Structure 1
Amino acid sequence: MAPAELKTVANAGGNGLRLGLAARLALRELRGGLSGFYIFLACVALGTGAIAGVNSVSQMMTGSIASEGQTILGGDIRFESDNQDIGAAERAYIEELGTVSSGLNMRTMARKPDGSDQSLVELRAVDDLYPLYGSFETVPSMPLTELFAERNGVHGAAVAQIFLDRLDLSVGDTVLVGEASLEIRGVIAAEPDSLSEGFGFAPRLMTSRAALDAAGLIRPGSLVEYSYRVRLDDGASASALAGLREEATSRFPNAGWSIRTSQNAAPSLTRNIERFSQFLTLVGLTALIVGGVGIANSVRAWLDGKRGVIATLKCVGAPSKLVVAIYLIQVMLIAAFGIVLGLALGAATPFLAAGALTGIIPISVNASFYPASLGIAAGFGLMTAFAFAVLPLGRAGEVPATALFRQQGFEASSLPRWPYLLTAGLTLAALCLAAIWFADDRRIAMVFVAAVIVAFAVLRLVGHAVQLIARRWPAVRSTPLRLAIGNIHRPGALTPSVVLSLGLGLALLVTLALIDTNLRRELSGNLPERAPNFFFVDIQSNEIEEFENQLMELAPEGKVIKVPMLRGRITQLKGEEVNADNVPSEAQWVLRGDRGVTYAKNQPENSRLAAGEWWPADYQGEPLVSFSAEEAGEIGLAVGDTITVSVLGRAITARIANLREVEWESLSINFVMVFSPNTFAGAPHSWMATLSDPNADAAAEGEVLRAVTQTYPTITSVRVKDALELANRLVGQIGIAIRAAALVALVASVLVLAGALAAGNRSRIHDAVVLKTLGATRATLIRAYVYEYGLLGIATAVFALAFGGVASWFVVSRIMTLPSDFMPDIALMTLAGALVLTVGIGLAGTWRVLGQKAAPVLREL
């Protein structure tokens, strides 16, 4: 530092803080390079890049869906009615709006003509105007009228390739659907509005409405979705679509239809993208906050190397706040550089992901730069860097110059003064509030932020508890072990930093691993054992008795459960119109669209009463209903309240007689609402049945499926194991993304651990030189470090197992309502991983310490 600058610094002592001088000195010192700040940069860049990348990809996907809303929806506006077609007045109103294309969707069975094999299919019947937007493509390519035309009494159909693979069929072959024969004339290559059709459990089969009528599948109680897509004549602005939706709802309040516009073409997909993006963003924020500990360690280590400069500044009269300002400016400039690196990574992520997503989502994904996502990530990065840098900087400003000249560092310093603590606290509070504010589901974000705060607090307690135990541990004879125990609790020990560094990353990893393992085990093992073998739907009342007899003949040791089923939509709660905005998101599915309802004399065997009483078998009073207890609590219903359900165009108001605890995870026949039998006296309905036979093998199940499909071609048979296999694949794909996100947090933890070791290098060098001077060998010191890092790794792993076990149990048992078990193999892998990380990185960080020459260090004592 030049003499003139020293004089200026001396004069600054009485003139308060001079930011210009602080900035000039900070920039001068930065000319020496970024040595000591590489871990700092990595922590900031990793967390910022993760947040920027996840939000950019989410914005790209939701933007692509919104930009192609007309193609995805199949029209400007779409009207849907479940299980009952709309009336003549509603149809006339829709036809006045513009060009209308109608369609029907349902699940049914498709089988080979010889009866040797069959498959569940998602059947879709469309008219000649389909599609209004986009292009429907098949291989071989042909016009829709030719593709579905009737030739010699046989209608045409197009199918997904997986359907041909499953039944070993080819284009030109014939399949039976219901009572109709369909010729496969093409393989579906592009279905432009498939996203708006929702998730399908079976291959797609498309044909004409005439073919569906010939199949005879639409009967009373059949599960059918009627849809009407409209291309408007008067334009399709957002305001026009919103006004049209309100007009249709108010003009036909009892139509029972749901209305979607091209502004919200695929709400379920958009909602899932936003939720998954929120989860990954919170994981990225966790990595950034964990990296904040690394920032604090890096700043502390860097300041430790600046002792001479700080001492000189203070000796010539520089006030503490000037010292803090100089190094805060440097820290924030370096943090800004790290943030720029992270933003560059985040900005590139959509371009890297666009190609992969095109094969998953059947829309054109156009990558771009997303300033809002990058701005949010930059804000998180700056707040984190500032909050975690203030405390070590505040401590450095309070250390007297004499202590710095005596080579005393900052590890033994007390907490900084209250302005620094308040500044750090307010910045962290702002960081938490920003995470909650920008979240799509703020309740989940609040829980996540609270969990991170609790984890930080508990980890600090764990670190202090480990030090307390080490301090009170009885003397041991082994010199390396005695040194290791002393290193754990001595002033300036790495214990709190190491425990905090690895704790959050390992805990998150354990939580996600246990959730993933429990789900996989449930889907592939326990659940199939408890679940029925088959579900059968669309059974007519005149078929149910003979159908049950056939099942008992095919599976004499099996158990058949049958229940009547109708479809109904909840229209009022407690006498007031349904308002989904006042219902938690996890319960809105109960109010969305038509729900299956049933009636019963006796209480279902797979449920128990949580409140109220069941009605007598011969009850003939006012309509009563039994409601699922969990959903009732989320909606705000209690025994004695009323609900109104629209069934077959008739509004039925029933009083809640009792609440039931329902075991949804058993996959048995369960309903949110079970009514008293007199409620639907004389109403037409279909039946649903299950067949449970734990001893049936694949061959026996195949025989049941073939016999039922041939005898009752209009009954839909669902093999539960097929649905579970599909769910297992989906869970596996989601699990890969979740584990990748957890790996980001773990990498941040490793970086923080490396930063903690760098922060303690000076005191390690001092200790090693003194011990070597007194006769300690390198082998003795290595053993001491192995013991020290091993003990810290075990303590951290124990916390991670406890915290991760509790967190995974809460998610699996309370949120997913599935059995949750602790996995010993996960525990052992976590313990082994913690030991490898702490011992390996610890030895790598201290290897240079062991090679230090004694003379330079001893001269500074």
Structure 2
Amino acid sequence: MIALRLLWREFVSGQLSLLAIALVVSVAAMTTTEVLTDRIDRAMRADAAALLGGDLKLRGPRPIDPDWLAEADVLGVSATETIEFPSVIGSQSNFELTGLKIVTDGYPLKGKLEIADSRAGTGYPASGIPAPGTAWADPQLVSKLDIDVGDTVSVGEIELEITQILVFEPDRGGSFVSLTPRLLMNQADLADSQLIQPGSRVRYITLFADGDLERFETFIEPRLDISQRLRGVVDGRPEVGSALARATTYLSLAGLLTVLLSGAAIAMTANRWASDHIADSALFRTFGLSGLEALFIFTAELTTLAGLASGLGVLLGYGLQIALVDSIAGLLTISLPEPSIKPAILGLLTGFVTLFGFAAPALIMLANVPPIRVLKRDYHVSGLGQFGRYGFALLAIGVLGFLYSDDLLLTGWVVLAVVILVGLVTVMGRLVIRGLGPLERFGPAWRFGIQQLARDPQASGGQLMVFAMTALAIGMVALIRFDLITTWETQVPEDAPNTFALNITDQDQTSFVQTVVTLGGDLAPLYPIVRGRLETVNGIPLVEHLAGTDPPGSVRRELSLTESEVLGRDNQIDRGRFFTKSDGPGLVTVESKLFDELDLELGDVIQYTIGPDRIAAEVIGSRVVQWDSMLPNFFMIFSPGTLEPFESTRLTSMRLPNPSQDTAAISRAFRQVTMLSVDAILNQIRGILDRVSQAVSVVLYFVLVGGILVLAASIQTSLPERRKESAILRSLGGSDRLLSQSQWAEFLTLGVISGCLAAVGTELLGWLVYNRIFNLEWSTKWQIWVLTPVLTGTLVGLVGRWSARQARQMPPAQLLKIADT
């Protein structure tokens, strides 16, 4: 009850205003950012699911267990089954090995099939699947069989009429069956066709969507055997999954920087609150309360405040993001789902974690206030000290950062950058403030302003810390928006390849290139392709090497292997090295993620089976692969000469000016070549890019506004001292102009110093994020070193002068009266 009465008294008197406002602003900022990024992230994943046909995809050599479908139904998860296998399809004049796909009503669960009414027709969304007795053929099959809509094809023991051209199917993968010409037919015709016989190689695929997918995934994963594979949006389409993973990291980083902003908002106000309660704690001790009992009272007060302010901040955050979404509705090219409850929970946690993370040292200090402090107001009260305060603050930032980003590595790098920035501010900031004496020669205003900073280095250092953290948060979000995303955009340019070509023979290589060039296409390098299966690592069977765990899905089947003497521009070595001209056969570099999944080390020897033969190669490096570049990429690249003894075909990608017509022309000229359009995937990646750009732009806008509020709140904490000093100067004849100019000089100097320190922090954090998180090359940005100090100095100067106006506008008598109370 004492805590509640204390809370009410301080609320009525306005003593809690600063801390409460800072807490509400912090929670509102975090909630708004999290709600917006969460909605955009879920919208991107929903769009990406349209390229998988559902949210989850189960693939195996036999039909799904009926009990699994029953469990999916209980959990509200929709399901539809498809069957894929190769078969020879015939027309009146030709035969072609075709990838048959058997579908049922409800397919696909996400996304749309696209069809055309003729070979030259324009694609449009389909409203269903082929009716019994009919089939849809893709442009490759139509071209190779020389048929059109209305013709019939032989499929096993039956004939089916081609009623539509299949322009696009959302879940078409990269397996052999998927890359051959496609025929889509209804499952009702499967039995009559007699295509599936004992021993047939058939792949059964079940798509799942909506409902309680997390529980269903938890149910099904332990029941899968080694032949079955369950994939989601990220790992089901590597090229889109890579873009989604990067987009999620961008949004997480933006949220982490908002955590810094929240911490800066609470830091100064929590210290001011503790200073104001030293006398209260001393009184409690004189009344006979122990230090722990006093601590309990103040903790209960802060807990109640945290609950009320966090709840208000969450409501305000949800309201603000609705207003923000409405204000940028014209910029958004995506329909956002409704807000979820997760940001509200995180918002409430933000209030408690930030408040107690920054106020815990203050609470410990209040528990140590002795009764004599009532009589001797200058009696020193022991606390945790500067390092203890920073330790609690960094712990709070780390915990919140991980909760928001769910990325331990990213959180760790951000906290490391903050630690370094804290060290810089603690050491360099104070040294710089002490060396500002020469600026006093610019006049009395500058003299008073600089003396104000030098008079209380601890208070100046605290403000310097808050301003530098705020500038770092704003600078890094701006860097994400205007440099990091732009760098990503340049990696997926407008002229990125839109078509892949497979099965190009050595004899056709020259004429194929000439045909593409004649059509106006831009061709990537042609890579030799050999199919092989990984068998051993250092002579140990793969399963034993992995200590009994299942091998990654990418090596459970035959892989497309290649060799090259040049590292692709969308590959980057992160361990070891790539091949040199002096290297001979028998070396290999491995894609970085697979390198980790296979528990490889540099120098390991891996063995592949290729047909009846075996080859061994030493691992000399790993590569970070940009899967969304639309260029040919591989898990394994061997040194030149390693695959030379084996028969191979070539693979490449290209940019065709008229993909539909040009693909048909190439298919007619080279019947054995398989053409695969990736336009839909490319458009999906660009859509993810656009949406991340929009989200970060909004976050930047909000962080900027929140930063101004944080600056104003931190300056408000020093108002009592400023009122007293202003009253003394006014009483001694100081003019309003002198006070105004001295405040401008003080805050401008603080802002410039903060900006310089924030530039160092931004440079460091930028280097860490570019090199350690995104595997990009970092180059020093002159804008950071020029704009950060200038803009921070200007912003802090203007906000500080406006926030401290009360100290110079009130009559001296009134100021002195306020200062004495």
Q: TM-score, normalised by structure 2?
A: 0.69
One-letter amino acid matched to 1:229: I
Deviations 1:392-434 (A, max 9, x none): 45556778999989998xxxx9774249986985686477357
Structure-2 residue corresponding to 1:447? 413
Structure-2 residue corresponding to 1:5? none
Structure-2 residue corresponding to 1:111? none
Structure-1 residue corresponding to 2:729? 771
- The separation in 2 between residues aligned to 1:133 and 1:526, in whole angstroms, is 31
Cα distance, 1:317 vs. partner? 7.6
Structure-2 residue corresponding to 1:686? 649
Structure 1 position 806 matched with structure 2 position 770: no
- The separation in 1 between residues aligned to 2:370 and 2:659, in whole angstroms, is 82
Deviations 1:796-849 (A, max 9, x none): 222222222232234335544444434444655444532342122111111111
Q: Report the secondary structure of 1:458's partner residue.
A: helix
Structure-1 residue corresponding to 2:102? 127
Structure-1 residue corresponding to 2:90? none
- The separation in 1 between residues aligned to 2:631 and 2:81, in whole angstroms, is 40
Contact 1:487 1:788 in 2 (8 A): yes
Structure-1 residue corresponding to 2:450? 485
- The separation in 1 between residues aligned to 2:657 and 2:63, in whole angstroms, is 52
Q: Report the secondary structure of 2:456's partner residue.
A: coil
Structure-1 residue corresponding to 2:360? 390
Contact 2:279 2:374 in 1 (8 A): yes
Deviations 1:462-502 (A, max 9, x none): 432332323x5465141111112112221166532333223
Contact 2:26 2:261 in 1 (8 A): no
Deviates more, 1:702-711 or 1:283-292: 702-711
Structure 1 position 145 matched with structure 2 position 130: yes
Structure 1 pair 771/275, CA: closer, same or farther in 2 (3 Å)? same
Structure 1 pair 736/303, CA: closer, same or farther in 2 (3 Å)? same
**CA RMSD between the two structures:** 6.1
Q: Report the secondary structure of 1:127's partner residue.
A: strand
Structure 1 pair 387/456, CA: closer, same or farther in 2 (3 Å)? same
Structure 1 position 795 matched with structure 2 position 753: yes
Structure-2 residue corresponding to 1:331? 302
Structure-2 residue corresponding to 1:228? 204
- The separation in 2 between residues aligned to 1:308 and 1:662, in whole angstroms, is 60
In structure 2, the gaps of 5 or more residues are 70-79, 87-97, 115-123, 150-161, 187-200, 209-214
Q: Report the secondary structure of 2:802's partner residue.
A: helix
Cα distance, 1:774 vs. partner? 2.0
Structure 1 pair 566/341, CA: closer, same or farther in 2 (3 Å)? farther
- The separation in 1 between residues aligned to 2:397 and 2:737, in whole angstroms, is 46
Counterpart among 464, 483, 489 of residue 499 in structure 1: 464
Structure-2 residue corresponding to 1:695? none
One-letter amino acid matched to 1:777: S
Cα distance, 1:597 vs. partner? 1.7
Structure-2 residue corresponding to 1:208? 183
Q: Report the secondary structure of 2:733's partner residue.
A: coil
Q: Report the secondary structure of 2:307's partner residue.
A: helix
- The separation in 2 between residues aligned to 1:703 and 1:262, in whole angstroms, is 33
Structure-1 residue corresponding to 2:23? 41
Structure 1 pair 282/577, CA: closer, same or farther in 2 (3 Å)? same
Report the identity percentage: 17
Contact 1:27 1:330 in 2 (8 A): no
Contact 1:22 1:322 in 2 (8 A): no
Cα distance, 1:511 vs. partner? 2.9
Deviates more, 1:334-343 or 1:631-640: 631-640
Cα distance, 1:337 vs. partner? 0.8
Structure 1 position 245 matched with structure 2 position 224: yes
Structure 1 pair 605/331, CA: closer, same or farther in 2 (3 Å)? closer
One-letter amino acid matched to 2:618: I
Structure 1 pair 57/596, CA: closer, same or farther in 2 (3 Å)? same
Counterpart among 464, 467, 479 of residue 433 in structure 2: 467
Alignment of 1:166-565 (within 5 A): 177=143, 180-183=146-149, 194=170, 208-209=183-184, 228-230=204-206, 241-242=220-221, 245-246=224-225, 249=226, 259-260=229-230, 280=251, 283-284=254-255, 286-302=257-273, 326-344=297-315, 369=341, 374-375=344-345, 377-392=347-362, 416-418=382-384, 425=391, 429=395, 432=398, 436=402, 440-470=406-436, 472-473=437-438, 475-491=440-456, 494-519=459-484, 522=487, 536-550=501-515, 561-565=525-529
- The separation in 2 between residues aligned to 1:273 and 1:724, in whole angstroms, is 13
Q: TM-score, normalised by structure 1?
A: 0.66
Structure 1 pair 782/605, CA: closer, same or farther in 2 (3 Å)? closer
Cα distance, 1:770 vs. partner? 1.4
Deviates more, 1:44-53 or 1:273-282: 273-282
Structure-2 residue corresponding to 1:85? none
Contact 2:498 2:682 in 1 (8 A): no
One-letter amino acid matched to 2:204: Y
Structure-1 residue corresponding to 2:809? 851
Structure-2 residue corresponding to 1:102? 83
Q: Report the secondary structure of 2:618's partner residue.
A: strand
Contact 1:599 1:674 in 2 (8 A): yes
Counterpart among 636, 649, 654 of residue 673 in structure 1: 636
One-letter amino acid matched to 1:101: T
- The separation in 2 between residues aligned to 1:61 and 1:530, in whole angstroms, is 26
Structure 1 position 72 matched with structure 2 position 54: yes
In structure 1, the gaps of 5 or more residues are 1-19, 80-89, 106-122, 159-173, 212-224, 253-257, 693-697
- The separation in 2 between residues aligned to 1:552 and 1:724, in whole angstroms, is 22
- The separation in 2 between residues aligned to 1:818 and 1:126, in whole angstroms, is 40
Structure 1 pair 143/30, CA: closer, same or farther in 2 (3 Å)? closer
- The separation in 1 between residues aligned to 2:605 and 2:587, in whole angstroms, is 9
- The separation in 2 between residues aligned to 1:102 and 1:64, in whole angstroms, is 24
Contact 1:350 1:368 in 2 (8 A): no
Structure 1 pair 851/198, CA: closer, same or farther in 2 (3 Å)? farther
- The separation in 2 between residues aligned to 1:137 and 1:703, in whole angstroms, is 20
Cα distance, 1:262 vs. partner? 9.1
Contact 2:743 2:800 in 1 (8 A): yes
Structure 1 pair 366/765, CA: closer, same or farther in 2 (3 Å)? closer
- The separation in 2 between residues aligned to 1:787 and 1:716, in whole angstroms, is 71
- The separation in 1 between residues aligned to 2:759 and 2:10, in whole angstroms, is 44
Cα distance, 1:305 vs. partner? 6.2
Structure 1 pair 244/810, CA: closer, same or farther in 2 (3 Å)? closer
Cα distance, 1:765 vs. partner? 1.1
Q: Report the secondary structure of 2:810's partner residue.
A: coil
One-letter amino acid matched to 1:245: L
Q: Report the secondary structure of 2:617's partner residue.
A: strand
Contact 2:418 2:761 in 1 (8 A): no
Counterpart among 734, 746, 758 of residue 692 in structure 2: 734
Q: Report the secondary structure of 1:72's partner residue.
A: coil
- The separation in 2 between residues aligned to 1:780 and 1:229, in whole angstroms, is 78
Q: Report the secondary structure of 2:441's partner residue.
A: coil
Counterpart among 697, 716, 739 of residue 781 in structure 1: 739
One-letter amino acid matched to 1:626: V
Contact 1:314 1:401 in 2 (8 A): yes
Structure 1 position 754 matched with structure 2 position 712: yes
Contact 1:324 1:394 in 2 (8 A): yes
Contact 2:32 2:320 in 1 (8 A): no
Contact 1:102 1:127 in 2 (8 A): yes
- The separation in 2 between residues aligned to 1:503 and 1:530, in whole angstroms, is 41
Q: Report the secondary structure of 1:833's partner residue.
A: helix
Q: Report the secondary structure of 2:427's partner residue.
A: helix
- The separation in 2 between residues aligned to 1:705 and 1:65, in whole angstroms, is 26
Structure 1 pair 852/314, CA: closer, same or farther in 2 (3 Å)? farther
Deviations 1:251-273 (A, max 9, x none): x6xxxxx6227999969789987
Cα distance, 1:55 vs. partner? 9.3
Structure 1 pair 430/406, CA: closer, same or farther in 2 (3 Å)? closer
Contact 1:503 1:800 in 2 (8 A): yes
Aligned residue pairs total 739
Structure-1 residue corresponding to 2:604? 641
Q: Report the secondary structure of 2:588's partner residue.
A: strand
